[in-house]
Amino acid sequence: MRTIEVKTQAREELVDITARVREELVSSGVKDGICHVYVPHTTAAVTINENADPSVKEDILMALRKIVPDSLPYRHSEGNSPAHVKACLIGSSIKVIIDEGQLALGTWQGIFFCEFDGPRSRSVIIKASS
Ligand code: ZN
């Protein structure tokens, strides 16, 4: 198991961590299996989506803001309930098949850390298993 640190710069942000997951996979030495990427936070998430057009990240965040409005009568006293709900919707883990030492991602796919209550210093746990 390896942990990487992600420093986010904004309240909401999708950070492409594909290259960093690849680095961890290479140093794990696992050639065939599954690469698990897990976010141990309640107001952040991880997903796989397009990393070619950066507008896609903005569109995802815009749509999530529409689905999870800031204006609902939330009860959680910390004031960050929209971030908790968005983290639930996206999810705290993904897995990618490892084939011949490579992540079997599609041409346009990247792995994104999803910040919903930043900026903060965050952790992402990566485990490659054969
Ligand atoms: Zn909270």
State the pLDDT at residue 1.
93
**Pair 13, 118: CB distance under 8 Å:** yes
- For residue 77 the two structure tokens come to 């006293």
CA of 48 relative to ligand 1 center, distance in Å: 24
At 47, the pLDDT band (50, 70, 90 cuts) reads very high
pLDDT score at 75: 97
Contact 91, 46 (CB under 8 A): yes
Average pLDDT over residues 14-23: 98
- Measure 38 CA to ligand 1 centroid, in angstroms: 19
Query: Which positions ≥6 away from 89 have C-beta within 8 Å?
Result: 45, 64, 67, 68
48-97 pLDDT, tens digit each: 999 999 999 999 999 999 999 999 999 999 999 999 999 999 999 999 99
The reported pLDDT for the residue numbered 9 is 98
For the chain, domains (ranges, CATH) are 2-129 (2.60.120.460)
Distance 17 CA to ligand 1 centre (A): 24
Strand order in the sheet with 44-50: 13-16, 109-115, 44-50
